[in-house]
Amino acid sequence: MRCLKSTETEMLKTTLTAIVAATCLMAGPAIAKDYKLGDLAIDHPQARATPPKAPVSAGYMTIRNTGSTPDRLVGGTATFAGKVEIHEMKMEGDVMKMRQISGGLEIPAGGEVVLKPGGYHVMFMKLGGQLQAGEKRKATLQFEKAGTIDIEFNVEDIKPGSKMKHGSMDHSKTMDHSMSGSSN
Amino acid sequence: MSWAALAALLLILAGVFGYQSWFGGTERSLMAGMKMGAPFKLVDHTGKPITDRALAGKPAAVFFGFTHCPEICPTTLVELSGWLDEIGDEGTDINAFFVSVDPVRDTPEIMRSYIENFSTRIVGVTGDPAEVSRLAKAWFVYFKKVPLDDGGYTMDHTASTFLVDADGHFKGTIAYGESSDTAIAKLRRLVKSASR
């Protein structure tokens, strides 16, 4: 294999950089950063875009626990919200019920919990201002064992019925806690 | 157990099932044709007085919710305005209302910036809590204040959109999460029934 001249190397580097940059740009806001904290992996944190002056928004993500002990998402803080709580929404018949999850949301050992519309969500309250699609907003999540992690939520227009994107996962181990059916 | 107690128990059970079939309801339910609503005096999202007369003369889609609502309410407003757009000119024959079940926090100012973000077609209704409560009852809408740990609160509430004809007779509901095709078909049918 012949050696590249330094100018060729430079060109190659520039081309590669351009390709990587273009790919990132094209992927746009659909790709959110994924995070790791100890045994926990947090995929695609996203917050619901709001109308102006809306007092609340919801945050969604997938949290996987690759460890052998369960952990709990107990709360957090956000630069853009006065209060952050973990809530669950449930339909009972045609009545919407929302409950704070006291004691935190369990992330089972070797399993995952999906926070998504119609189920668990991070509840952002006392919003400091409108959340607009395309923005990124900083927040800190607190876990009982793993501690705290700073993450960025992609603000997205979350359309009704839209499928939440999350990374590839081992389905043999998944435990979707958000599917706790409504009990009548 | 005495027969009277047993009879009472059966009555209660019948009531519970009746309640569920009503409120799970569609136009096939026991509520079909029932007169919905009651006279009211409240304010709209622009701060102007609004009464039951705003509903008269045209079919209406009525949704009860609140702005401290992370999912159902914004989703319903987005969908409802989309459906009304979708049926285009026919849609102008339907009045659409978003009634706050949390009128203490949902001032007209809040309601205005909230609703206008979604649609110019939907009228917000808020005002005196006792009056709102009476109105919700007259629509068979359930709502309940639920305290949160920090002293704040959230609301449980009926999440369906109610459809009534121009005379306020019950024509069905659009359930939360119902497919757009079904919802649009229901709205079209509502317009048609009005023009017959």
Establish if B152 touches chain A: CB-CB under 8 angstroms.
yes
Establish if B78 touches chain A: CB-CB under 8 angstroms.
yes
For residue range B95-106, what is the model confidence (pLDDT) as tens digits? 999 999 999 999
ipTM exceeds 0.90, yes or no: no
Q: Per the CB < 8 Å rule, is A94 touching B113?
A: no
For residue B15, name the pLDDT band (cuts at 50, 70, 90): low
- What is the mean predicted confidence (pLDDT) over A92-107? 94
Q: Which of A23-27, A115-119, B33-37, B59-63 has the lowest mean pLDDT?
A: A23-27
Amino acid at A131: L
User: What's the pLDDT at B22?
Assistant: 46
- Name the nearest CA neighbour of A94 among B62, B21, B15, B101: B21
Of residues B185 and B1, more confidently modeled: B185
Task: Using CB atoms within 10 Å of the CB of residue A172, give its burial: 0 to 12 exposed, 13 to 18 middle, 19+ buried.
Answer: exposed
- The set of residues, in sequence order, having a beta carbon less than 8 Å from that of B132 and lying 6+ positions away, is B42, B99, B100, B101, B103, B125, B126
Cβ atoms A170, A64 nearer than 8 A: no
Distance from CA of B84 to the nearest CA of A (A): 16
For residue A31, name the pLDDT band (cuts at 50, 70, 90): low
The DSSP-derived string for A143-158 is ETTTEEEEEEEEEE--
Amino acid at B139: W
Q: In this complex, which of B154, B158, B173 lies closest to A98 when CB atoms are compared?
A: B154
For residue range A53-66, what is the model confidence (pLDDT) as tens digits? 899 999 999 999 99
Establish if A163 touches chain B: CB-CB under 8 angstroms.
no
Full-prediction pTM beyond 0.80? Answer: no
Round the average pLDDT of chain A to a whole number and report it.
Answer: 80
User: Residue A174 above 70 pLDDT?
Assistant: no
For residue B88, name the pLDDT band (cuts at 50, 70, 90): confident
> Which stretch, B21-35, B81-95, B116-130, has highest mean pLDDT?
B116-130
**φ, ψ (nearest 5 deg) of residue B180:** -60, -40
> Which stretch, A119-128, A171-180, B23-32, has highest mean pLDDT?
A119-128
Cβ atoms A153, A45 nearer than 8 A: yes
Q: State both tokens at A22.
A: 């273009």
Establish if A164 touches chain B: CB-CB under 8 angstroms.
no
- What is the mean predicted confidence (pLDDT) over A90-104? 93
Distance CA B49, CA B42 (A): 6
User: What's the pLDDT at A9?
Assistant: 58
For residue range B60-79, what is the model confidence (pLDDT) as tens digits? 999 999 999 999 999 999 99
Query: Which residues of chain A does B150 touch, with a Cβ-Cβ cutoff of 8 Å?
Result: 83, 85
User: What's the pLDDT at A1?
Assistant: 46
Distance from CA of B116 to the nearest CA of A (A): 8
Q: In this complex, which of B69, B75, B150 lies closest to A83 when CB atoms are compared?
A: B150
Question: How does strand B41-44 pair with strand B122-126?
Answer: antiparallel
Q: Per the CB < 8 Å rule, is B72 touching A54?
A: no
Q: In this complex, which of A50, A53, A125 lies closest to B152 when CB atoms are compared?
A: A125
Q: Per the CB < 8 Å rule, is B105 touching A55?
A: yes
User: Residue A27 above 60 pLDDT?
Assistant: no
- Name the nearest CA neighbour of A77 among A38, A126, A32, A39: A126
User: What's the pLDDT at A172?
Assistant: 35
Q: Per the CB < 8 Å rule, is B69 touching A56?
A: yes
For B62-97, letters b (16+ CB in 10 Å) and e give bbbbbbbbbbbbbbbbbbbbbbbeebeebbebbbbb
- What is the mean predicted confidence (pLDDT) over B45-52? 97
For residue range A143-158, what is the model confidence (pLDDT) as tens digits? 999 999 999 999 999 8
Cβ atoms B127, B43 nearer than 8 A: yes
Distance from CA of B105 to the nearest CA of A (A): 10
User: Residue A87 above 50 pLDDT?
Assistant: yes
For residue B89, name the pLDDT band (cuts at 50, 70, 90): confident
User: Residue B3 above 70 pLDDT?
Assistant: no
- Name the nearest CA neighbour of B19 among B156, B144, B158: B158
- What is the mean predicted confidence (pLDDT) over B6-17? 55
Residue with tokens 């060729």: A8
For residue B194, name the pLDDT band (cuts at 50, 70, 90): confident
User: Residue B11 above 70 pLDDT?
Assistant: no
For residue A35, name the pLDDT band (cuts at 50, 70, 90): very high
CA distances from A64 to A37, A107, A120 (A): 10, 7, 14
Establish if A99 touches chain B: CB-CB under 8 angstroms.
yes
